[in-house]
Structure 1
Amino acid sequence: MPQNEETQPFEEELGAVLRSAGDGFSADDRRELIAGGLQRGRRRLVRRRLAVTGGVLALAAVGIGGVYGGSLLGPEGPATTASVAAPPVTGAADGTPGKWKFVPVLPVEDLAAVLKANTPAGQWQFDNLDGKGESVTGVYDDGHGKAGVSVGLFRAGDSPEAGVDQVTCPDRVVVRYDRCASQRLPGGDRLMILQGYEYADRSEETKNWRAVLLTKDGFLVDANEYNAPAEKGAAITREDPPFSGTQLKALVTAEGWRPLLKQLAAQPKPDPVPNPLPAVPSAAAVQATLRSLLPKGATVVSHGGDDGHGYVVVDDGKGKSLVGVDVQPDAGKAVAELFTGAGVVTLPDGTKVRATQQPGEKGGAGVVWWSVDTLSPQGFRVGVSAFNAGAQHEAATRAEPALTMEQLKALALSPKWRKLPLK
């Protein structure tokens, strides 16, 4: 927290923040949420990256803004101003029957006015004040160093569950952060406040503190702040971002956002958009199969994942070891080039196997990364990774992963993966 401000332990402060939050606010219009919302967009991003990275565990290199949600400050913003990454789209019809053109609807100057009115006094620089959009970004200076700040207002998605992942504290195995608190508020809204980092491997000490409110009517108010003028590519200017947890809570729950959310709610419903995502096994199915294929003596101490991928942290008495698997039934041509060249073995049935042993890449001291990636002639891909630590960004707990390369190969080639139902 800012050094010139009286502080209390983060957990105590967040407890007070969450307890004191009232009914929040709601938008009057309860239309169905637009197709292609945040949750589906996040999964699409993850699955697209899986097609070229070789595993969801590789995504842990991405900070909170990448694998978890998505911040609004762009990576290429200059050091004096923050830039805007593309937010979830909303908009109005273009007048063509059956066609919809998504255009920004909120005046950026109105968003900036609410942001300024609900933060401590300081100097602000904003971009695109004459434009329209669903987010505002700026640089705030309270005399203790410039800080990038953004707030976005979005429809959460196209289902009652959409947006819940945005207000659920991320898994520490995948995302590195210091503190997080999440809770359903008395009026039905949900709030998350998180203190984390832009880079999971701490290659740069850019901090990302975030507050997200999910209203009971399916809208998100997402605020991000940094201890640098921009999310990426800017020098650190202060020890911490400027606003405390209490101040972030006051910002995202401010009444000033209500009329702007009503404008979003009043936009007409677009035509349904076909879901282009390939079918994958459910998270539960992947988890159960992974656990059934572990060697004897590997006790599972934690687990997690999402549709198409999962992980376990095992301990065989010699230290924790992270083991993850990704299942892509229709990887196809997207990953074919990963299975060419030296080190790739083709089995009698045509399945290609690529095995690698390399140092970890996420900042954990002494971490090694062992992986076996397989691709069948029909395009069915299973990749398995194991580490000699309970998380990639933590220090090694043992000399080698708990599973040998042969065990990883057997796990990846198990016929059980091809029998899983898809969703």
Structure 2
Amino acid sequence: MNNLNDSLPDLMRRVTDDLEPESPDLVERGIQRGVTLRRRRTALLSLSGAGAALATAGIIIGGSQLFAGNPAAPVAGSPSTAPSTSTSAPGSPATAPVSAPGTPADTLNRLRRLLPQELKQSSANAGYRHNMHHAEVVVDDGRGASLLTVNVVTTKPNPGCEGLHGSCTVRPDGSVITSYANESIFPYDASKNPWGIKNTVVEIFYPDGRLISIYNYNAPKQIGVRNTRANTLFSVQELTALATSDQWAFPKETDGPLRAPGNGKPTVPLAQTQQTLRSVLPSGLQFTRPETWGGGTNGFNGVSYVVNDGKGAARVEVLVQYETPVTKCTGEGPQNCEVRADGAVVGWSKNEPTYSDERQSLNGVVANRVELHYPDGRMITMTSYNGPQEKDARHTRSKPVFSTDQLLELAGKPGWKFPGTGKK
């Protein structure tokens, strides 16, 4: 961007003084559909009531309802108020925010105040995404429209860089900042992104559980429209400056009308979900390397096995949880989506590569994935790989063990129990 003024340049000067160099040793964790990112996104959704993974996501999480509730937002395209110049040094934002949490509309107002006044703003909107405050606005510097979104939430603290996509740094105050620039929103297969849409992302995880995610796109929408500029309007440094402003107010875990979709529903032991997975799979398989994640009061259960039908060992995994009901296809999640006659939303993707670079030709691991969203909020996703793990291992067979049709049949079996948080 050129000629930035008001609050953003001041933030930029402060934040670039403290930015640490990106680590060349960080391993790409996968985006959008990577298992690790899906786990983080799902955990955030369950803990805060959030992908994602993006969520990261662009991350992140699959098929979540875009806006729940409709808090008042400024009229699209209305002039922003004078931007605030109050900032804090990026190494010290672990202190409490200066203002009350407010509403998603307040978050939108804060976002618009921090933007340079010469940018044209339109299509402003705000709402709750689960327990997150979500705000978005389309901005244009005369070189093309660019969607800018922000999510703020308070959840359990992130322990470090493990499982986060992109460049990641643990700062002296204990906060974790992760970012990536101008990545395709569907990096695994260019044919899935005919619009040429890219995003640049900055996320900051604070030691006290506050999380802010800022996404910028080179198009006026996240998906489904042609890009309007070659790259995103904002750089990583500019988004970092926005994210580290002390003007953001983070909702408490108890704030918001969509507190924890799994609240009021009993937990389900991870061992039970694991046994259900084993029982619904065909007989004659060899089962090894059981794995679990989530469970307890987290509100989601994830389990997996490496199975072998005599043609090669391959991972199969399932995630079950309650979510804010999904009623339509949103452009997030798997490549294909349909709404069934019973109101369930079904998504599926075939042969998704697990890397977007030369490592894909080396390891050759692909996945079939399905998601089943019931009208009452139950959600199950199943993934089948053609190798024993998603990353860092070579494929063992030409195709995943199960097709998407088979996965949908397995996901629809009546034996699944969907875990809640065990909280009222």
Question: Which category of TM-score, normalised to the shorter sequence, fits these structures?
Answer: 0.3 to 0.5
Specify the structure having the higher radius of gyration (Cα).
1
TM-score (norm 1): 0.47
TM-score (norm 2): 0.47
